[in-house]
Structure 1
Amino acid sequence: MATSLSSLQCEINGCKRGAVALCLHCSNHICTKHFQEHTQMINQQLHPLIDQLNKLSNKINYLTIADVIDPQQNLEKWRSESHRLIDEIYEKKRCEIEKLIEQDFIKQKNEQMKTIIDLKQKLKIWSDENETTSNEVRIIKQTLEDTEASLLYFQKMFVQIETKPLIIDPDFVFVQTRFITKQQPVHDVSFHLENLKCTNVKTLPIDISEWRLRYCANEEHVLVYNGTSHLYLYDTDLNFIKRRKIKDSYYMDHFERYDVIDMCWCESLKKILLLTDNHLLEFALSNDRIEVIHTVKRQHNFDFSSNFYRCTCSNESLYISYPNGLPLIDEYDLSTFDFLKQWTSPQTCDANAWIESIRCNYSKKQLGLSIMKAREQRIDLREIKTMNFVWSTRIEDVKYLRGLYPLRNNEWFVIESSDDGILFHIHADGTLTSKVKYNGKKRRPILLFN
């Protein structure tokens, strides 16, 4: 049965008046007096807000270039650091010169003085005896000439310094503006991948369907799976080393599906993790051994077609995602491969979205997620321990975002798969800064970085 306001008492402490309204500000039933006081209190809060707004408006209105943090400060800092480096090299070499002089100068000088003293003694003897031969005079002249030449050489060549011109590349200093807006214009850049300076990018020609190509790299090797029953190992210059068969008698007894759908380098284990539809394989390059990790299994009760899809790892955990619209990420302990937790929506992505790619940024302990949702494609960054949201960047007018790769300085690369492939460069703050076109029909980019 509903209670009328007339039967309620004002809920403000000490007030015995009847309630006339429900205050949405404090969620209490209040009388007319306290209703007016609450209304006045709320209205009074507007005045400082108006003052604050006016002050902010004046700041923006009178903002000048001089008020902006001087961009030349960074340039001056670079200049000072460069000069400091030159001064350090100069001081080091100056000390080397002083050390050489201290060690050898007195020795060289004394040797020359000894020659002069010996010659003086001979001249005095010959002069006193007054019996000098023409041959002795010739020897004296030759000795004087040799000593004088030696002195001249000593003065000019005692310490030799060879310098090389200091080469300053204008690209050492990169200048750009960065607008704080919701959507940044993306600059088209067209050049060869080999000239890309923000990472070490190489290309590997492989004549197969692009969707079947999988690869990963460490500081020494690149492992490539091209959709066949073999793995191909290269060095970081993409020189072929060897071929390794995945399926042998050992694996045929355990499972039939052996297509590698994703792989990642595990720094803490010093091994490559290979993900198939139903299994996780551990590949040790040191002994060429592949083992099945039996504790890693599907952790959901959906249809059987929703098998494993993508994997990545931090220094402590392994993360596996699923396809077919499942916003799930399974977390395993890397030391034991025991199941720890299943992350789901909204901690991973929207309930009606799914994760196309997942990669870990070791240095920042963050997960990059390539999210697919109807016609929307975006890159989300989340904290690795809590899945707390960091930033999200929507990428427009693309067919299919497939590859996601962390770079140095906490930046990211995204690969769009099509005949006219595009590499998207995302800044550490989530700003989409540039895109690089490449011939995706003929070549697939292999990104190598520390």
Structure 2
Amino acid sequence: MASSSRPCTIDGCKSPSRTVCICCEKCYCFEHLTQHFGRINNKIPPLSDKINGLAKRLNKFTSIEPSYLVALEKWRVEAHRTVEQYYESKRRDLVDDRRAKLEKEVGRVRHVMEKLIRKHDAVQQDVDLLTQDIRLIEQKFSEFQSLRFTIHPLVIDDSLIIQDLFPLPTPCRTMKLPFDEFPALANNEKYLLVHQPPNISLLDRHFSIIKQTPWTHDNIWDMCWSSTLSRFIIVTNEEAFTLDQNTMTMAKCPISSNGELSRVTCSDSALFLLTQGLGPSIFEYKLPPSTKNVKERKSPETCEQCEYIFDLKANNKTLAMVIYNTENDITRLDLKSSINLQRLWSVDVGQGFRCCLLHGEQWMVVDALSRRLYHISSTGKLLKADKYAHQPWNIIQWGKFIIGIRTNEAINLY
């Protein structure tokens, strides 16, 4: 009777397989299964050596302070010294000098009084003058006791100490992706959403595909995450969709616009849609979006009629815009109030294309044409610019410590 057993995976082995390895889904006989498990287990000791080596390096790191920790400690000491000096200066001006003047006045009056007592020749005028001086001293002392100050709290923001991001290190992870004419990215704390035709996929930080679903609509122009809706929002040139990360179900957003769409971004309370072309409009929808609760902002409120808006990002009550002026051929990053679109600051960013918010209210702009990255402070100061090895078409911040950059061929995590 012929055997129905599948052959062993190992070439040349004529023994029938007895089991299937769940890890690699290959069939093995008893002998080669044992060898297979042995090879797997033999990979553990070298990994153990590596983690032990890292532990030793970490112990050495904590025992010998690197130069940047020395600089940080120096800054701390100097900052304390500055506070102490400011305190001493204000105490001297507001308290000590007043007290010294009072003590001097009390001493003068006491000297006059002791002189009159010693000579025993006081007249009524002397008594009246002493009484007046004492009353004035009492008044000044009362004022001194009831001094009131307005003391503003010492505000220390993240811009006091800024990490030098450039040059970027070697990517900790890279994932190859097919070329996309519109390289959109979106992320929340857990997942990264990318378009991998014919699907859109949720990736974890190891670039493993957690979930995916077919994408059957027009080209994706942009994507973002709404923490208020707990949904991703995906925009084509005419429509917007919400995507549930748990079920991967999509729903069409009830929106309407007078032009083709190019960008989408969300604050805690609103959804902003940017149209294409010169002097574009920005449509603001209160969340959840509906056609009944929408406000349109037009040029010149959004930008000049001769300008494109390449990117739009919301943060708290502000909107960051990468704006290109066709008349002077200058691209800038503007930070504006999302309430009235009043410009808060502006900085030139080469040929910048997309931007993202970094930890500490800082910004980064990618310039694909010149292969450059721009690091901007929370106050609109260009901290540093640097070259990038590939054309950076898009950028995200993933949590506090991970930056993702999309090129024509891949996504790199730093």
* TM-score of the pair, normalised by structure 2: 0.54
Q: CA deviation at 1:221?
A: 0.3
Partner Cα separation in structure 1 for residue 265 and residue 304 of structure 2: 20
Matched, 1:440 2:409: no
Partner Cα separation in structure 1 for residue 165 and residue 229 of structure 2: 39
1:382-421 equivalent positions in 2, closer than 5 A: 382-396=336-350, 398=351, 401-418=352-369, 421=371
1:267-286 equivalent positions in 2, closer than 5 A: 267-286=227-246
Task: Please say which of residues 325-334 and 433-442 is displaced more in the overlay.
Answer: 433-442
Alignment check: 8 A CA contact 1:204 1:446 kept: no
Q: Report what 1:208 is aligned to.
A: 179
Partner Cα separation in structure 1 for residue 283 and residue 277 of structure 2: 15
- In structure 2, do the counterparts of structure 1 residues 438 and 270 end up closer, same or farther at CA, with 3 Å as the change threshold? same
Q: Could you list the structure 1 runs, at least 4 aligned residues long, displaced by more than 6 angstroms after superposition.
A: 77-80
Q: CA deviation at 1:318?
A: 0.7
Q: CA deviation at 1:207?
A: 3.5
1:54-65 equivalent positions in 2, closer than 5 A: none
Gaps of 5+ in 1: 1-70, 81-172, 177-186, 196-201, 248-256, 301-305
Matched, 1:224 2:194: yes
Name the amino acid aligned to 2:343: F
CA RMSD of aligned residues (A): 3.0
Q: Report what 1:75 is aligned to.
A: 76
Q: CA deviation at 1:264?
A: 0.3
Alignment check: 8 A CA contact 1:204 1:444 kept: no
Name the amino acid aligned to 2:240: L
Q: CA deviation at 1:72?
A: 9.7
Alignment check: 8 A CA contact 2:233 2:241 kept: yes
Partner Cα separation in structure 2 for residue 445 and residue 368 of structure 1: 14
The DSSP-based 3-state class of the residue aligned with 2:302 is coil
- In structure 2, do the counterparts of structure 1 residues 439 and 207 end up closer, same or farther at CA, with 3 Å as the change threshold? farther
Name the amino acid aligned to 1:264: C
Alignment check: 8 A CA contact 2:354 2:395 kept: no
Alignment check: 8 A CA contact 2:263 2:312 kept: yes
Aligned to 2:255, which of 290, 296, 299? 296
Alignment check: 8 A CA contact 1:407 1:413 kept: yes
Partner Cα separation in structure 2 for residue 438 and residue 447 of structure 1: 17
Name the amino acid aligned to 1:431: K
Alignment check: 8 A CA contact 2:354 2:394 kept: no
Alignment check: 8 A CA contact 1:322 1:329 kept: yes
Partner Cα separation in structure 2 for residue 287 and residue 219 of structure 1: 17
Report % sequence identity.
Answer: 21
Q: Report what 2:207 is aligned to.
A: 238
**Number of equivalences:** 248
- C-alpha offsets along residues 106-155 of structure 1, whole Å, 9 cap, x if unaligned? xxxxxxxxxxxxxxxxxxxxxxxxxxxxxxxxxxxxxxxxxxxxxxxxxx
The DSSP-based 3-state class of the residue aligned with 1:207 is coil
Name the amino acid aligned to 1:204: M
Name the amino acid aligned to 2:169: H
1:159-178 equivalent positions in 2, closer than 5 A: none
Alignment check: 8 A CA contact 2:371 2:392 kept: no
Q: CA deviation at 1:403?
A: 1.6
* TM-score of the pair, normalised by structure 1: 0.50
Name the amino acid aligned to 2:167: S
Name the amino acid aligned to 1:234: L
Partner Cα separation in structure 2 for residue 367 and residue 373 of structure 1: 18
